[in-house]
A and B are shown apart, each in its own frame.
Chain A
Amino acid sequence: MTDPEIQKTIDSYLAALRKQLRELMEEDARDIVEEIRGHILDKTSGGSSPEQVSATLAALGTPEELAARYRTEELLRRAQLTRSPLVSLRSLLHWATLSFTGIVVFVVSVFGYAVGGALVIFAALKAAFPRATGLWKNVQPDRSWGLSLSFSNGTPPPGQEILGWWVLPIGLLLGTALLLLTFRFGTWMIRKFWRPRALPQPDGPTNLTCVGGA
């Protein structure tokens, strides 16, 4: 391997690492890549042989493994501190790729956010289009009846509107409560059940090796 080839090996390692860290904040990711670059350069300074470079990169793990350690630490920390449902949901998505519990929590959360969000939007529509938005009870000639939830700009559906204006506060309250509950559920589950042991351990038994010693 020639010098440009060594450089290419290092560069492609760092580029792969950078790509794997895209979930992190731009500044943090750049910081990490620069630190690892410095480490590799320090390790291989003074006439770097290809073997030396390979050994240095191997000791760091693959870009995927290394990034996973950063990401997991970072997501876990952010998920526990966050007040943003979006960050929480992204962490849950990451968790879903790691374990079955993660998948269940993610699906439940998506459902909770969707229904909660729909209720809030429904309440907002009632405020905007009061005549056409609401809950209608529709009694058929054979005395069977159905409920229809309607929101449109057009004419109200047939039948008797129930709840009326109450749809607004109830939808708003129920929707907000459900959104909050879903958020709390997600962060609580992460805190309670997402432990490092549930995460892949790319470091394996070579994480720390004891040598020598009597």
Chain B
Amino acid sequence: MTKIPSYYQTQIFAENPVSRIYFGFIALTVLLVIFFALDIFSGSIGISPAETLNILTGNSDSPYSAIIMKFRIPKALTAVFAGVALSVSGLQMQTLFRNPMAGPDVLGISSGASLGVAFVILGFSSLIPAGNISGLGNWLLIASACAGAGIVMIVIMLLAIRVRDILTVLILGIMIAGGISSIVIILQYFTSETMLRAYVIWTMGSLGNLTPDQLRILGITITAGLLISLVTLKMLNALLLGETYATSIGVNIRFARGLVFLSTSILAGSITAFCGPIGFIGIAVPHIARMLFRTSNHKVLLPATIITGAIVMLLSDIISQLPGSDKVLPVNSVTSLLGIPVVIWVIVKGRIIKSAV
């Protein structure tokens, strides 16, 4: 287990020419702006670009202004937050666990959140009738998701402190997630059809349901999580060369683990609480960033992952709105369908899977 992953090892020292990195970042930033605009300009209602521009510049009071200002812009911002947060968590988890398949959920965040939400939507509904949980507002769901994710995360972190071997932590995380999904299935089994549908829709993820207040809170927590992840940059680079090496150059492994866990919990936890589970972004985006910049240096990878994550999430949202149709697709399915081919490509290429285990 202490074997140094050759992929990371070779890549970290083989830095790309600076010009390639600059070019990459400029291109990505342009793409980010384009996709952000596309997400606002397209939607299930056709609003002409000219009118959209008028609304954005405040020169129009058409009924569509509510659609742009209250629906599409908050949704696009949520997409950016979600993409950034999940991708950065995924990057940190992959490095910490030295496993290309690790993602934000390794810490049991989305399974914990799903347990919390399942208790509220499914558990209560079998005790009290659906009519009485009227106004099942956002806040109740967010609070329950936070509580569920928090409890499971604390359990896994306590285990991680006691267990030295990081792979054991990974397996414990998977086992706990499995146990939780069984509990959720029992709750689903006993609930009414309406509540079952409500729960299933929650598991499909949603970006467009945040109030301005919630968006502000999400913005603050994501910024906090990102700041912590900045602190871990050096430690993550050292960890690429193995825990023994990291220790030898003075990295406190437990402290590093704690910081990474904290950052990931804040980032992925708040997104799961506000938007529901959103799959595969956390696993796939760091790989896309690695492919684009051909490096594992976190000083490059972190900003690259941030921008790529935002772009991929915006793209997923545009697709899920099915521009031109009045239907919508669940965003969680879109991210999975976009992310899975990337993950498969990474496995088939074999360059990581060979070396990481």
Q: Is A bound to B?
A: no
Residues of A near any B CB (own CB < 8 A): none
